[in-house]
Structure 1
Amino acid sequence: MKLTDYHFPDKEIGFGRLLGIMQNHGFVIGEHWDYERVTFDLQMPDESDPGTFYLRVPAYAIDGDIPHDETTVKIMTPLLGRHYYPHGVEYGEDENFPGKIVNKSKQKLATVDEELND
């Protein structure tokens, strides 16, 4: 599910600053980063619903190589997905996400958005 209500898609920022902001809000760098692309993932388990949910914020390098602090990256549209064992995370628009997970995702993105604009 794409989450499009935020100002940071297409925002350009230094990787070091973005990394600090995302880590301060509980995100970790996804395992499949390379020198051009990176994802920041936030795991959100829900005891009342089987599966684990992930909020993912992708970015890609436009000047320099990841993971150098001075590299300029462009942030892309955040995604909300659900993990299905053993297949992985599904980000489909037809997924039925619990309201509290969607709200938590939107709140988290709003606080990140505020800090990016400071």
Structure 2
Amino acid sequence: MKLENTGLEEEIIDLKPLDHVTAKHAFIRAGQWDYERVTYDYRIDSDEKGITYYIRIQGYAVEGDVDRGDAVIQMLTPLLGKHYYPHGVEYGEEENFPSDIVERAKSHISQLKTEINQLKQ
């Protein structure tokens, strides 16, 4: 599910401060990158048996190289996904997302967006 109108998809930010602020908000980049793209995931635990939700934030380099650490990243629209053990994460619009999970995801992204804005001042 796309989490639209968060304002995050309008952000352009250097990779190093982006890595710092996403890590501060418990988003994990780990090995999810290549020379031109980055992906950050945030895990949302659920009371549902065998179900975990993830916020996924992606971006691509408009300048520089992610591998060298000198990239400038254009953020994309965040996604909310549902992990079905052992099959994987589904991000489709046909998935059913509880309203409390959607609100938690939006709130977390809003906090991240606020901090990114503070970095730009």
Q: What secondary structure does 1:44 align onto?
A: strand
1:5 offset after TM fit, Å? 2.2
What's the TM-score once normalised by structure 1's chain length?
0.91
Instruction: Find the aligned partners of 1:93 and 1:30 in 2 and give their Cα distance.
Output: 26
**Which residues of structure 2 form unaligned runs of 5+?**
none
What's the TM-score once normalised by structure 2's chain length?
0.89
**Which residues of structure 1 form unaligned runs of 5+?**
none
Instruction: Find the aligned partners of 2:68 and 2:11 in 1 and give their Cα distance.
Output: 18
How many residues are matched? Answer: 118
Counterpart for residue 72 of structure 2: 72
* Greater share of helix: 2
* Identity fraction in percent: 40
Runs of at least 4 residues off by over 4 Å: none
Q: What secondary structure does 2:9 align onto?
A: coil
Segment drifting more, 52-61 vs 78-87: 78-87
Instruction: Find the aligned partners of 1:47 and 1:7 in 2 and give their Cα distance.
Output: 30
Post-superposition CA distance 1:77-115 (Å, at most 9, x none):
000000123321100111111121111101001101111
Counterpart for residue 92 of structure 1: 92
